[in-house]
Structure 1
Amino acid sequence: MRASVVTLALATSFLVSAPAFAACPDDAAIDAFLAERAAARPTTAPVAAGGSIADALCAQEKIVARLSADLGPVVGYKAGLTSPKSQEIFGVSEPVFGTLLKGMILEPGASVSPSDAVRALYEADLIVEISDAAVNEASTPEEVLASIAGVRPFLELPALVVGKDEKLDGAAITSINVGAWRGVMGELIVLPQGAEGVAMLAGFTARLTDDATGETLSAAPGKAVLGHPLNAVTWIAGVLKAQGKALKPGDLVSVGSIGPLHPMKPGMSVTLAYEGLPGTPKIGASFK
């Protein structure tokens, strides 16, 4: 099957195969989880490993609603575990769905304290900015490309929140909103349309570098994400459609890990470069 067909199939199985909401965590459980999260104390996922995706999405919806009081409205979505390596680490065979809030998005060069979260991480990512609702019917990267304003550099700073001994699988990760915590986003990059733009997004390299040493921490191509980063947009659109929702102009879609996750270390600063995209854009952050 083509990669776009595969992502649509995954989006369908993500929801259709899950049972109806049967054990959505109650408000007290969600409040307790968020209190520990805010205090940067290890906690447990609202839906434990082995639970249902439906219950996990219910928990996520409650969490997002409460966080939005401080972090503002929903600005987009994230596809997590989109690389083979990340799927291997967490024992899943398909992506997971998360929600992004306005206050999670930071300016380039932001300084972040790892101690503000449990198991704070960083990873190479990419944001796709939607420009046309026709993206919801797109089935190929070329069709998605025609419905976006462009892409933005995105150094995602997720936090796993739970203790190191707790098992995380697709349901557990979904219930913690796929670790969405913070992320540094850059300026819009306009891409060529058609085959040229599609090839550019598949072939560019996301390179993470340690600013102090110049060491390459990771380097991976765009196609490490579901065969093509725009397939993540198709997948997100499919998940939303199954929920009776849709992507709209202005929405942001985080395509997920382009390479491995890295633990955030105090005193470190990193730069993420997109080799092969127009102007070789870069974005960075420091960890205090």
Structure 2
Amino acid sequence: MAATSDPENVARAFIDARAGKTPLTVYPGAFPQTMAEAYAIQDRAIALDGRRVGGWKVGRIAPELVDRFGGNRLTGPIFADEIVDGAADPAMPVYADGFAAAEAEVLLCFGEVGPRDYSIDSVKQCIADVRTGIEIASSPFPEINRHGPAVTASDYGNNKGLILGPSIPDWQDADLIHMPVEMFVDGARVGAGTMEAMLDGPFGSALFLIDTLRARGIAIAPGTWVSAGAITGIHEVRPGQRAEALFDGKIRVGCTITSY
């Protein structure tokens, strides 16, 4: 397909499908061919949606696509009204006829982010909290992840919510990279891993997000969350199932998957 020439129409189609809880059996336009085109659609959708953005998810671009798309990560907004406290054992709705998955992730909360340039080490200075959590990925387009990162990014990065788990004690000195993480669906372990596989780790995701949002003219307000990337994989779920992540063998966060 040729590059999309009308970000507004694509953005409106996704917003209408999300609001109407109706599946999109085909992509609502021409596939975006670059991340710039994808973010143009995303930016227009955020403006049309009107809700406050409370965080951003960061996902990985497959190694074989890095050269084509000019980077190894993508991002999408997480709306404030879809960020929930995991202590309440929340029910998280997904698009049952679209795509739905749960991902164990480390969540970083930004404090003040000034205009200075950051490095992978100094970016920690603007992080106020680090928590465990689960990202809910869901889109009314069932094939959202089958056509490359630009398509994924164009629909909010395939995000549908964020569950805030307990904070990681003494995270500044903790060995986050080697912390074991497991993911369970209906009590069965579906994935396990550490942040060693996450490129340059969760703080690399924070650095990527600062640079990417600056380039798009988007400020990062104090209290903004970043879901730093799937640690154990992308685990598809369906309504009625329970998803639970276990961090360091002792910190649990979970939810029930529901349908609209």
Q: What TM-score, normalized to structure 1?
A: 0.76
CA positional deviation for 1:262: 1.1
Q: CA RMSD in A?
A: 2.7
CA positional deviation for 1:208: 0.9
1:40-99 residue CA offsets vs partner (Å, 9 max, x unmatched): 31244456445232221111012122333xxx31112221126xxxx26xx632111211
Corresponding residue for residue 58 of structure 1? 40
Corresponding residue for residue 228 of structure 1? 201
Residues 19-98 of structure 1 mapped to structure 2, 5 A cutoff: 23-26=5-8, 28-38=9-19, 39-45=21-27, 48-49=30-31, 51-68=33-50, 72-81=51-60, 87=62, 92-93=65-66, 94-98=72-76
Please tell me whether residue 286 in structure 1 is matched to residue 256 in structure 2: yes
**Unmatched segments (≥5 aa) in structure 1:** 1-20
Counterpart of 1:118 (choices 95, 98, 105) is 98
CA positional deviation for 1:220: 1.1
One-letter amino acid of the structure 2 residue matched with residue 125 of structure 1: E
Sort the Cα spacing of 1:235 and 1:165 in 2 relative to 1 into closer, same or farther, 3 A: closer
Counting helix residues as a fraction of each chain, which structure ranks higher?
1
Sort the Cα spacing of 1:282 and 1:111 in 2 relative to 1 into closer, same or farther, 3 A: same
Sort the Cα spacing of 1:203 and 1:166 in 2 relative to 1 into closer, same or farther, 3 A: closer
Sort the Cα spacing of 1:224 and 1:100 in 2 relative to 1 into closer, same or farther, 3 A: same
CA positional deviation for 1:211: 4.6
User: How many residue pairs are counted as aligned between the two chains?
Assistant: 248
Identity %: 22
Counterpart of 1:178 (choices 127, 134, 157) is 157
Counting strand residues as a fraction of each chain, which structure ranks higher?
2
Q: Secondary structure of the residue that 1:229 maps to in structure 2?
A: helix
Q: Secondary structure of the residue that 1:56 maps to in structure 2?
A: helix
CA contact (8 A) 2:91 2:255 kept: yes
CA positional deviation for 1:149: 1.3
CA positional deviation for 1:114: 4.1
**Unmatched segments (≥5 aa) in structure 2:** 67-71
Residues 99-248 of structure 1 mapped to structure 2, 5 A cutoff: 99-108=77-86, 109-116=89-96, 118-134=98-114, 137-140=117-120, 142-164=121-143, 167-193=146-172, 196-197=173-174, 200-212=175-187, 215-248=188-221
CA contact (8 A) 1:45 1:175 kept: no
1:131-159 residue CA offsets vs partner (Å, 9 max, x unmatched): 2325962212x322232112122211111
Distance in 2 of aligned mates of 1:55 and 1:220? 33
CA positional deviation for 1:246: 4.0
One-letter amino acid of the structure 1 residue matched with residue 256 of structure 2: S
Q: Secondary structure of the residue that 1:120 maps to in structure 2?
A: strand
CA contact (8 A) 2:244 2:252 kept: yes
1:105-164 residue CA offsets vs partner (Å, 9 max, x unmatched): 123211234455611111111210012325962212x32223211212221111143244
Sort the Cα spacing of 1:118 and 1:192 in 2 relative to 1 into closer, same or farther, 3 A: closer
Q: What TM-score, normalized to structure 2?
A: 0.83
